[in-house]
Structure 1
Amino acid sequence: MKNILIICLLFIGIQAHSQQTIILKDTETGEPIQYAHYLYQNQKGTSSLSGDISIKFITEEMLHISHVNYGKLEISSDRLQEAIKNGVLTLTQSYISLLPTTVIARANSSAKSDIMKVRISDKLSHDAGDFLSQSAMIGGIRKSGSYGFDPVLRGFKYDQLNLVMDNGMSATAACPNRMDPPASQIPMSMVDRVEIVKGPHSLRYGNAFGGSIHFKSAPASFSETTKVFGRASGSYESNGNIFRTEAMAGAKGKFYNFGIYGAYSEGDDYEDGNGNKTPSGFNRRNIGMSSVFKLSGSQSIKLSANNNFAKDVDFPALNMDLRKDDTWLLNLSHKINFKNSNFSSLSTSFYGSFVDHSMDNLTKDLNPRTVNAITLAKTKNYGGRSEASFQFKNSSLFSGIDYKAEEAEGTRSREMLMGPKSGTTFFDNLWQDSKISKVALFGEYHFALQEVYFVASTRLEHNSAKSREITTEFINANPESQSDKLNVSASFGATHDFSKQIRMGLWLGRAERSGSLTERFINYLAVDVDPYERIGNAKLKSEVNYQLDYNFTWKTDQSELDITLFASMLRDYISAEIRPDLSPRLATAPGVKQYYNIDKAVMRGFEFSWYQKITSSIYHKVNVAYTYGKNMDFNQPLPEIPPLDIRYALGASFCRNKFHPEIMIRHALKQNRISNNYGESKTPAFTIADIKASYDFSDKIKLIGGVRNLFDEAYYEHLNRSVKGSNKAIYAPGRSFYLTLAISLM
């Protein structure tokens, strides 16, 4: 009996010893992952409140993990062995993939279908709008050759898109013509990934009427001992004599991570494919810092501050050029994680952006020069949010409250140089010291039923607007200038993996958006494609978007196909109509248009992407995007929608994955669908080719070079505005050679 007992104890000990315990942790937060279901051959279970799972290792066997926030994962045998050795397996949240989303990640991302990646060379970009336009699904409204590109996603633009950085921070354009759109204020040197949610389906960080573009900085890492890190890169582009540089240096320890960022860019006029010069000079610098401190094992605080300064930027499509733009972006956030509780975390942040903008026509080549005009404008965009996160066995809940305010003030002076009023100076109150305040409750619920993942999202927002310096001429057109709206937005979607290769998703959303500062309060100023002056409408109805999205994904080890279809029904769509009873301020304007609501409009389209690994070292990929828009009231196309865009790339990886050549071909079809009422013109088709190559001398030094517009094609985008005083659009740069050197000590 004694011997039998000893044998049993030995057997139990051997079994205990053969069982390996691994802690599942989140890659970004380092917190344990609870309620993760795992299957390992015939071993299965659920991770504990401390993130533990116990398995007996089996050679060449895959570990399958399923979690509502992380999706379905397959962990290779090699990675599992490494995790057993370290005692930790880190997972990256992928619940964002349950939405109709494109994730633009760092270059070391393993996602094959990413349309583009935030490479170290992209951190040199002085304009995030230009960076986004590398994607077929995102166009850019261009009033300058090199600066201030405004994103257009599926025909949605301006305030119809929710463009934020790090969970809510944004900026408001001080220029009524948006020389300084929010995208131009994003410090790309700090961006680690970009999440683009198509449609009104992500409502946690603001009113995503037509889509959400979320720029995210890198999660902070810590070290048991003090370590320093940094990187530096610089580039030169021949056409336009463009020089860019950026650098970062920092230090981290057990309880802190601190970094300082800086970037500088400048350029001159470039030549288009016909050899004609396009005014496109610019000068831009950025300096900033980001610091994260651990207050305890479960609490951290983050502070970031950035200053963007631009000067002497040419805008050939506008009456004025940018003389100076001085912008501060500030963000303070706190997060506390709760262990062994369904109440997972509480995140609170406060942010603000402050724009000081000046522009004039003093350096414009005007003949005759009838007026000297100068505009000084300022905007503020500030607020805060607090979000609670709950984690249950088969579901997650995010809920909270946020507040955001936008303020704008600005005055234009016009010194008359000719005519009977020569010597007289007029002052125009453009923004009327207007303000919009938004207070909202929001929630997003993720849950799984029978291998189907669901996402339900809602947002209840109170929107109030007022002018604190309303002018007499504005009152004549708007008897009431204050408005209050209650906007209700909601979305519901489901995603299901029909097999290891096939995933489908379906989402239905409704979003409601009140008018912007421009649409409510702009005061006799031409701000759109046509030369008509615009006046705001304080009593605009909120426009409503009812949208359906369908996504099909097919993935194998060698290929990945992604197709997205969408249809949008728009009610009370905001547009502009002529007011024959109003007279413009400037003789160059044919009249005045006031913003109003179209009863019905529609938009529909698709995105298509395909990646294929031809051999172990050669790949190719294609991306296609198209949007159709129609004003149902007038039976004509909606304005500023780009044509069908096709992009193809063929690339390779040679020399032990050190040498990466790639050739890219882009074809945009002719755009015949134009809005005559909006002053649009048809755009011819074009085809361009680019080539590039990079070589990794080591894991710290990379050299990148290439040629843009290889065949020196003369072309322009449909969304490019026309040069002021002519019907000629701003042509894109002709052939341009570039070279980039990047050094990383991360």
Structure 2
Amino acid sequence: MNIKLLFFSFGLLLFWQLAAYGQTTNLKGFVKDSKSNQSIDGATIYFPTLKLGCISELDGLYKVDNIPFGKYKVVVKHIGYITLGKEIEISKAKENNIDFSLEMEVKELLGIEIKNDLDFNQTFIKITIKKSNIEENSVRDIGELLRTIPNIQAVRKGGANLDPVIRGFKFDQLNVQLDNGMTVEGGCPNRMDPTTSHVEAEDIESIEVLKGPFTLRYGPVMGGVVNLNTLNPRPFDKFEIHVKGNISYESNWNGTRQHFAVLGGNKKFFFTFTGNNSVYGDYEDGENNSVPSSFRKFGVTGKLGFAIKKNQIITASYSEFYARNISFPTLPMDERKDNTKLYSLDYKARNISKLIETINIKSYFTDVDHTMDNYERSSSDSMASVSHILATRLGYRAEIGLNAFTGHLFVGTDFYKINKDGDRVKNLIMQMPTSAGVVPIKVEDLWNKAVINDFGFFSEYTKRKGSWEYVGAVRIDYNSAFCDSINLKNTAGASILRVIADSTISSYLNFSFSLGATKMLSEKMSL
């Protein structure tokens, strides 16, 4: 097909839909628990006859655009709650406000349920795993939970720290982030410490998986986005404190887990504090064969929230996560030690004005101290190696959401700076001792003061008309990187190589764009 004709047809279709924009209005409000009055995020609000709907946000807020005037049946549902169906009237006001209260459904859950929540604000399907799914199952690792979703796998290298794969895309082809923007830079070149390894599964409130290349708002990636939303503090009408703890044991995996959570506060100040500890031995199969997969992981997280106004919240977060003696039988080394510290500061605002719908700003800093060795490998009989890497990542993400041109316009910018430095020390046990009577040692630079910078600007526009939705997105990134000379040195610090590798400098400008259209055929089917 002629590319000009394709773009002309798409533009003509978009113009026709914009021209057909008639007498419609918006509906917004909050979804809450009927007893506790706490907000419910991830609830589905859907109009069956109109094939319109949306998903409630973390604060329970929802908004459905372009609803014709009249009376309609709306369905509101969420896992663990009784589905609500009622008839409402959409008046000719510029905006209708209706809150929904859901009653908790008490029943026995027999197994994990993965619910494909359709996010009607985007042209791709967002799959969400809810807190109830995680709590009802024995989850040692987030990667194990992710690979229960169709078209998602995880690379297993040991008993923990599985690396997700979406439809064949993996590693840097995916954007795996914490709390809508934070990405942890690991230390291992073989990725034994991906972002998913730096968070405890029981601290997760929900996991969002966005498949496809249409997510340019979140980074220049083609495979998709995995967003891990951790437990966030929420305001209470009056001062309250809630404490929850659990202890579990798995005989097959020979492991124990402990976790606790404390949350509380009032309307102005609110907080959460969580801690976890996991100790697992080697896995034993049905034939009593032992598979090296032992590990220990523990850590704490504290968050403090402050409500500037009812629709504006600032949240500060600090986490420490530690890992010890994690076995990776498929890799040349095991993880001996990993110390990770995470810092973040978030500002969120909703419904600032008729034009400005949302403002989200996140700044963060991650610090990883990673050590690995080959002491459990047969190769250590001739050469014992220890690698030590320091990796930090400093970044921010800022986005504003606008009600513009009868649709939604998102404009924002993001930035990150990665610093990596580390070496590998090799003890050459089988070689002749030096004149001083010590084992010869070689030192290799893995990353020699490496620096990576990336600055991005992005914009996305979505427009919905009836059961059709259109989206267009653009993104520009400027990336620069630098690394000192990579060299081999002996115990005296002298170069082993006669030719020293030059330092490396690179920079490039990357432009990305996407166009898409979605036709909602039913509540659970789209084209």
Partner of 1:488 in structure 2?
511
Aligned partner of residue 209 in structure 2, secondary structure: strand
Is 1:504 matched up with 2:521?
no
Equivalent-residue separation in structure 1 for 2:57 and 2:385 (angstroms): 53
Equivalent-residue separation in structure 2 for 1:238 and 1:183 (angstroms): 24
Q: What is the CA-CA distance between 1:400 and the residue it aligns to?
A: 0.6
Is 1:430 matched up with 2:436?
no
Partner of 1:88 in structure 2?
99
Is 1:28 matched up with 2:51?
no
Aligned partner of residue 202 in structure 2, secondary structure: helix
Please report the TM-score for the alignment, with normalisation by the length of structure 2.
0.75
CA contact (8 A) 1:293 1:301 kept: yes
Q: Where do 1:689-708 residues align within 5 Å?
A: none
Q: What is the CA-CA distance between 1:367 and the residue it aligns to?
A: 7.4
Q: What is the CA-CA distance between 1:312 and the residue it aligns to?
A: 1.3
The letter of the residue matching 2:202 is S
Query: Quick one: which of 95, 99, 117 aligns to 2:124?
Result: 99
Aligned partner of residue 213 in structure 2, secondary structure: coil
Cα gap change, 1:486/1:105 in structure 2, threshold over 3 Å: closer, same or farther? same
Q: Where do 1:128-527 residues align within 5 Å?
A: 128-144=142-158, 146-218=159-231, 220-362=233-375, 364=376, 366=378, 369-392=381-404, 394-420=406-432, 423-449=439-465, 451-471=467-487, 481-498=504-521, 500=522, 503-505=525-527
Equivalent-residue separation in structure 1 for 2:520 and 2:397 (angstroms): 34
CA contact (8 A) 2:483 2:503 kept: no
Equivalent-residue separation in structure 2 for 1:273 and 1:120 (angstroms): 27
Cα gap change, 1:35/1:102 in structure 2, threshold over 3 Å: closer, same or farther? closer
Equivalent-residue separation in structure 2 for 1:126 and 1:34 (angstroms): 37
Q: What is the CA-CA distance between 1:38 and the residue it aligns to?
A: 5.3
Q: What is the CA-CA distance between 1:40 and the residue it aligns to?
A: 4.3
Q: Gaps spanning 5+ residues in structure 1: where? A: 1-21, 42-60, 66-73, 81-85, 108-116, 506-746
Q: Percent identity?
A: 27
* Runs of 4 or more above 6 Å deviation: 90-93, 472-478
Cα gap change, 1:202/1:440 in structure 2, threshold over 3 Å: closer, same or farther? same
Question: Looking at CA atoms only, which structure, 1 or 2, has the larger radius of gyration?
Answer: 1
Q: What is the CA-CA distance between 1:273 and the residue it aligns to?
A: 3.4
Higher mean C-alpha deviation, range 454-463 or range 91-100: 91-100
The letter of the residue matching 1:249 is V
CA RMSD of aligned residues (A): 3.1
Query: Quick one: which of 68, 73, 85 aligns to 1:62?
Result: 73
Equivalent-residue separation in structure 2 for 1:379 and 1:345 (angstroms): 33
Q: What is the CA-CA distance between 1:474 and the residue it aligns to?
A: 10
Cα gap change, 1:452/1:374 in structure 2, threshold over 3 Å: closer, same or farther? same
The letter of the residue matching 2:182 is M
CA contact (8 A) 1:39 1:64 kept: no
Quick one: higher RCO (CA 8 Å, sep 6+), 1 or 2? 1
The letter of the residue matching 1:504 is S
The letter of the residue matching 2:214 is H
Partner of 2:493 in structure 1?
none
Equivalent-residue separation in structure 1 for 2:146 and 2:469 (angstroms): 29
Q: What is the CA-CA distance between 1:319 and the residue it aligns to?
A: 2.8
Q: What is the CA-CA distance between 1:390 and the residue it aligns to?
A: 0.4
CA contact (8 A) 2:73 2:87 kept: no
Q: Gaps spanning 5+ residues in structure 2: where? A: 1-26, 31-55, 77-82, 90-96, 103-116, 489-495
* CA deviations over 1:162-189 (Å, ceiling 9, x no partner): 1011121011120122221222113323
CA contact (8 A) 2:75 2:85 kept: no
The letter of the residue matching 1:134 is T
Cα gap change, 1:79/1:360 in structure 2, threshold over 3 Å: closer, same or farther? farther
CA contact (8 A) 2:186 2:195 kept: yes
Cα gap change, 1:212/1:421 in structure 2, threshold over 3 Å: closer, same or farther? farther
Equivalent-residue separation in structure 2 for 1:375 and 1:163 (angstroms): 25
CA contact (8 A) 1:162 1:213 kept: yes
Partner of 2:15 in structure 1?
none
CA contact (8 A) 1:103 1:196 kept: yes
Equivalent-residue separation in structure 2 for 1:350 and 1:210 (angstroms): 24
Cα gap change, 1:96/1:424 in structure 2, threshold over 3 Å: closer, same or farther? farther
Cα gap change, 1:220/1:393 in structure 2, threshold over 3 Å: closer, same or farther? farther
Cα gap change, 1:333/1:370 in structure 2, threshold over 3 Å: closer, same or farther? same
Please report the TM-score for the alignment, with normalisation by the length of structure 1.
0.54
Q: What is the CA-CA distance between 1:338 and the residue it aligns to?
A: 4.5
* CA deviations over 1:402-430 (Å, ceiling 9, x no partner): 10122211111111111346711111101
The letter of the residue matching 2:287 is N
Q: What is the CA-CA distance between 1:226 and the residue it aligns to?
A: 1.0
CA contact (8 A) 2:121 2:462 kept: no
Query: Quick one: which of 61, 86, 100 aligns to 1:77?
Result: 86
Equivalent-residue separation in structure 1 for 2:209 and 2:380 (angstroms): 46
* CA deviations over 1:2-33 (Å, ceiling 9, x no partner): xxxxxxxxxxxxxxxxxxxx973465346685
Equivalent-residue separation in structure 1 for 2:181 and 2:483 (angstroms): 25
CA contact (8 A) 2:216 2:475 kept: yes
Q: What is the CA-CA distance between 1:355 and the residue it aligns to?
A: 0.4
CA contact (8 A) 1:189 1:262 kept: no
The letter of the residue matching 1:88 is D
Q: Where do 1:594-609 residues align within 5 Å?
A: none
* CA deviations over 1:38-69 (Å, ceiling 9, x no partner): 5543xxxxxxxxxxxxxxxxxxx72489xxxx
CA contact (8 A) 2:306 2:314 kept: yes
Aligned partner of residue 317 in structure 1, secondary structure: coil
Q: Where do 1:559-578 residues align within 5 Å?
A: none
Aligned partner of residue 433 in structure 1, secondary structure: strand
Q: What is the CA-CA distance between 1:311 and the residue it aligns to?
A: 0.5
Partner of 1:37 in structure 2?
67
Equivalent-residue separation in structure 1 for 2:461 and 2:98 (angstroms): 31
Q: What is the CA-CA distance between 1:291 and the residue it aligns to?
A: 2.1
Equivalent-residue separation in structure 2 for 1:267 and 1:430 (angstroms): 30
Q: Where do 1:532-543 residues align within 5 Å?
A: none
Equivalent-residue separation in structure 2 for 1:415 and 1:478 (angstroms): 23
Higher mean C-alpha deviation, range 271-280 or range 432-441: 271-280
Partner of 2:135 in structure 1?
120
Higher mean C-alpha deviation, range 96-105 or range 320-329: 96-105
Q: What is the CA-CA distance between 1:484 and the residue it aligns to?
A: 0.6
Figure out how many residues of one structure are paired with residues of the other and give that number: 438
Cα gap change, 1:461/1:478 in structure 2, threshold over 3 Å: closer, same or farther? farther
CA contact (8 A) 2:484 2:504 kept: no
CA contact (8 A) 1:126 1:284 kept: no
Q: What is the CA-CA distance between 1:121 and the residue it aligns to?
A: 4.2
